[in-house]
Amino acid sequence: MDAVWILPVLLVLPLLLWTSSTFVFYFKKCFYVAYMMLLAVIAIPICILKSGGRDIENMRVIRFMVRHVKYFLGLRFQVSGWEHLQTDGPYVIISNHQSSLDVLGMMEVLPDRCSTIAKKELLWAGTVGMICWLGGIVFINRKKTSDAKNVMSDAAKTMLADKIRLWVFPEGTRNQNGGLLPFKKGAFHLAIQAQGLTADDVTLLSEQSFGIMRSAFLEISGQSVQSNGPSTH
């Protein structure tokens, strides 16, 4: 008798999924978070057994395990220019940041030995936080610029010494306003060290990168005509 309420739920759920794009959106959003948490539960022991702890090689495990998630959400990616990432040595990748779904795009193209810069709050996101730590993600305190700069300076040294790559979201936060936020400078301070440039090059590099990304963003956005629900996710 206790299970009597299950019947209406089983009937209403498909109905809502069929009739309401808003419901579908929030359903997918909850599924995404729960499924990523679950994947992380599986990935954590694998990473520990494979690498013994925090190690950038764990990003291969994460990448492999995350790549199929797009199918559940009805997402597909079109990749161009991937060959430019197939080069030796350290470099910095920058991308815009609209939502937590960006992680799926990131895993689609993430090169070997590449980790990312993330806000320190992510460390406390349950199993996802733990897998981020195991993957060598560099956590910064955005509220304390001097601390963040110190952490990024250390990351730059590791990047050069161990020939790793770093992925940075230079807007510094998620943004869904239909454009790009002004870039923070940290990514470009990293990049000059990877490329043997000087601090004088930071502003120009940042401005050029912003211009290129903005053009590409607007071009791609112009092609996007489909919406599955509320714009915020």
Ligand X SMILES: CCCCC/C=C\C/C=C\CCCCCCCC(=O)SCCNC(=O)CCNC(=O)[C@H](O)C(C)(C)COP(=O)(O)OP(=O)(O)OC[C@H]1O[C@@H](n2cnc3c(N)ncnc32)[C@H](O)[C@@H]1OP(=O)(O)O
Q: Is 51 in the site for ligand UBL (CB under 6 A)?
A: no
HSE toward the beta carbon, residue 201, CA cutoff 13 A: 14
Minimum CB–partner distance for residue 132 and ligand UBL (Å): 7
Per the structure block, which two tokens stand in for 103?
Answer: 């992680």
Minimum CB–partner distance for residue 126 and ligand UBL (Å): 4
Q: Is 233 in the site for ligand X (CB under 6 A)?
A: no
Judged by CB under 6 A, which of 92, 130, 135, 205 binds ligand X? 135
Instruction: List alpha helices for 57-201, DSSP H.
Output: 58-66, 69-73, 102-109, 126-134, 145-162, 186-195
List the single partner that 93 binds among ligand X, ligand UBL, none, CB under 5 to 8 Å by kind.
none
Q: Which residues does residue 115 pair with via DSSP β-bridges, in sequence order?
A: 166
Q: Is 145 in the site for ligand X (CB under 6 A)?
A: yes
Instruction: List alpha helices for the chain, DSSP H.
Output: 6-19, 21-51, 58-66, 69-73, 102-109, 126-134, 145-162, 186-195, 202-223
Dist. CA 83–CA 32, nearest whole Å: 29
List the single partner that 62 binds among ligand UBL, ligand X, none, CB under 5 to 8 Å by kind.
ligand X
Q: Interface residues for ligand UBL in 72-101 (CB under 6 A)?
A: 97, 100
Judged by CB under 6 A, which of 16, 24, 33, 85 binds ligand UBL? 33
Minimum CB–partner distance for residue 54 and ligand X (Å): 13
Contact between 200 and 210 (Cβ < 8 Å): no
# chain residues binding ligand X, by CB under 6 A: 37
Dist. CA 26–CA 21, nearest whole Å: 9
Minimum CB–partner distance for residue 133 and ligand UBL (Å): 13
Contact between 111 and 165 (Cβ < 8 Å): yes
**Contacts with ligand X, residue ranges (CB under 6 A):** 36, 39-40, 43, 62, 65-66, 97, 103, 116-119, 122, 128, 131-132, 135, 137, 140, 142, 145, 148-149, 152-153, 168-170, 172-173, 184-187, 189, 202
